[in-house]
Amino acid sequence: MGPRPVATGNREVPTMSEPRQPPSPYRIEALELGPMENFVYLISDRASGRAAVVDPAWEVDRVLALARDRGVRITDILLTHSHHDHINGVEAVLNASDAQVHLLKPEAQFWGRYLDLPTLHHGGDVIPLGETEIQVLHTPGHTPGSACYQLGQELITGDTLFVFGCGRCDLAGGDPEQMYDTLRHLAQDLPAETVIHPGHHYAEQETSTLAEQQTGNPFLHFHDRAAFVRYRMHEHDRLRHTPYRPVPAP
């Protein structure tokens, strides 16, 4: 047998015979804030010291303090959608930084804000954050312009995909048929090892992989649009409550 990793505390140190993986050009950190268990994310680009805040809301001072502690400057705000619990800290971040706001054009039209910004996006656009490339995915269903942000094999999903759940479709702008299509595309088009970072801490675990979601997320078990719509709109909230746990595929 070859040499094995040497355990040091909670970290494994590779032996000399094992190739070292290059460090990621970015870091994603989550803060759980507010009464609705929101995850607000800070994406830091290691090379440039630039940072992006995803869905700033609630205790913005804690987000700003995290950026100061990491020695990064906030240059960008990424919005997954425009519901109040995901955007109520935007103005506070803008007051404290010279940041640009990024969101999908359909969401700006639905919201009625930021329609004159040069940073409106379409699905497939790439936002550069120093040496970090952030791909914008248009993922409608929760709102018309909901977005997910992909960095390598990590995906910030907002209220599109939760760990073992998905966003509501009964609010203004929601569309369960679009949500069905969106979730199928995510599951089919992205690598199974993709790590998802949801917009709320609604499960016992904070993150997951798409492979784990395909196995345990009931919203990814449907192959019939009408059955999905019936479950999302009429059955799910009667049958399941947070914290969400995996549901075996039928």
Complete domains list, the chain, with CATH? 23-239 (3.60.15.10)
What is the rounded CA–CA span in Å between residue 140 and residue 136? 12
Those residues with Cβ within 8 angstroms of residue 88's Cβ, 6 or more apart along the chain or in another chain? 57, 58
Instruction: Give 136's DSSP letter.
Output: E
Nearest to 129 by CA among 108, 147, 149, 106: 149
Has residue 14 got a pLDDT over 80? no
Question: Using one digit for the tens of pLDDT, what is the confidence trace for 106-163?
Answer: 999 999 999 888 899 999 999 999 999 999 999 999 999 999 999 999 999 999 999 9
Q: Per residue in 95-134, is it b (16+ CB within 10 Å) or e — as a string?
A: eebebebbbbbbbbebbebbeeeeebbebebebebbebeb
Q: What percent of the chain has pLDDT over 90?
A: 88
pLDDT at 118: 81
Question: Using one digit for the tens of pLDDT, what is the confidence trace for 75-84?
Answer: 999 999 999 9
Confidence of residue 11 (pLDDT cuts 50, 70, 90): very low
Instruction: Give 218's DSSP letter.
Output: G
Confidence of residue 221 (pLDDT cuts 50, 70, 90): very high
